[in-house]
Structure formats: structure tokens, C-alpha cells
Amino acid sequence: MTSVLPRKASSLADALADPTGVVRLSVIGTPIPALPEAIHSLQGLEILTLNGNGLEALPAALFDLPKLRVLNLFNNALTELPAGLSRLSRLESLTLGDNPLRQLPDDLARCTGLRELNLANLPQLAFAQVWPLITQLTALEKLSLYQNPIDGLPDNIGQLGQLRILRLFACRIKHLPASLAHLERLVELDLRANQLTEFPFAKKNFPVLRRLDLSFNPMDGGCIHS
């Protein structure tokens, strides 16, 4: 029996011409207005990076890749995602930052294996719709929401008890909910360039915190309470 060696592809055309063994596909800075339906032929794909390609639409067939663990769609022209995201049952990392997305599919909440989610710089996204989805992703370890006008965090942010990295740079945040103190596994908390006048938490709330950045906020000092 002939074994198939895993391989990486850097051209969409080459990967689709011979999908055998392709586990990683990285296409960056190449004009691709729409991803073809044939993407479903890459049944062994585990990591898909499509950054800065001008993508305007995704086929639902993208969500029929049974082994996909990492999906990176940063810096495209996507205004929406098709339904069916939760069919990616092995998805661990999803990057959607820097797109003109207006909403996210409700089944994001059923992507319960997600450990990393990047929703940075999505100024048209209605976070009132998105927060109830995010707070159900209780396996999240890294959440990046920087450069969004979210104003504040939901009261139940503390449900994300596995979070280790939370990046909220330049989000216009004025107040922090008390449940933030439930995130005892935080190692990094980035709150730069917000509108905070205080940080009402003590060191004991974040026993493993190594980086807390409160710079460029209108507050006295920037130290965590003793």
C-alpha cells in the first residue's frame, strides 16, 4: 500500500488540481474574489490561511472540510459568512479580523472546540448580536477584539473561564464588569487606549497574570490594586 505524505500548498490552483495529501494551504495577497466550491475536495486540509486576498464570498462547501483546525480569513472583503460554520467540528482557531462583516452566523455558538477567536477591527459588526455567541464558547483561551467600538464587556464575560489572553486595545471601554474577576487563568490582559478611569480589581483576582497594560487610559496610575 502506497502512503500519502502530507504536504503544504501555496497556490489554490495547484491544491485543487491535486488535493491528495494537502494538509496546509496558505494563499496571501492574491486576488480571489470568491472561493470556489471545489474547495471541498481538500478533505485532508487542517490549516487554511487566506489573508489579504480580497475575498467577497465564501461557499458553504468550505464548511465540509472534516479535518480543518485553523481558518484564517484576515483582511478580506467579507460582509457575511454562510450558515454551517459549526459543521467544522474540529475547528480550534478562527480569524475573521479586518473584514466589513455586519453579523456572524448564530451557529458560531456551537463551535464549542474553539480555543482562539480573532474578531479585531470589525467596525460594522453589531456586538449586541455577537456577545451572546462569544460567551458560549467556554473553551476559548485567546480572544482578540481590539480596535472595535464595543464600549463595554457583557456582564457574563466571566463564563469564559479558560481565557488566558484577552486583547481589548482601543475598544472605547469605559467600565469593566465585576465578572472579569472570574477569569483567573488570564496571563495577558491588554486594555490600552480605552476610556477607563479605574481598574477595580486586586492582584488576587488574577493569580497568574504576567502582562496587564492599562496605558493610554484616563486613569490615575495604572497599577492593579494590592
pLDDT at residue number 217: 96
CATH class of 7-213: alpha beta
pLDDT score, position 10: 81
- Contact yes or no for 71/95 (Cβ under 8 A): yes
Spatial contact of 166 and 191, defined as CB atoms under 8 Å apart = no
Residue with cell 461557499: 59
> What confidence score (pLDDT) does residue 3 get?
44
- Position 24 scores a pLDDT of 97
Q: How far apart are CA 180 and CA 61, in angstroms?
A: 38
* List of E strands, the chain: 7-9, 22-26, 47-49, 70-72, 93-95, 116-118, 142-144, 165-167, 188-190, 211-213
Using CA atoms of 167, 168, 169, 175 in order, give the dihedral in degrees to the nearest 10: -150
- Residue pair 199/214 in contact (Cβ under 8 Å)? The answer is yes
- Block means of pLDDT (10 residues each) for the chain, 226 residues, are 66 93 95 93 97 95 97 97 95 98 96 98 94 98 97 95 98 97 98 96 95 92 54
Query: Residues in the chain, how many?
Result: 226
Q: In this structure, what are the phi and psi dihedrals at residue 57, rounded to the nearest 5 degrees?
A: -150, 150
Instruction: Give the pLDDT score at 87.
Output: 96
Query: What pTM value is reported for the model?
Result: 0.94
> C-alpha angle with apex 122: 117 to 125, nearest 5 degrees?
100
Distance CA 70, CA 162 (A): 19
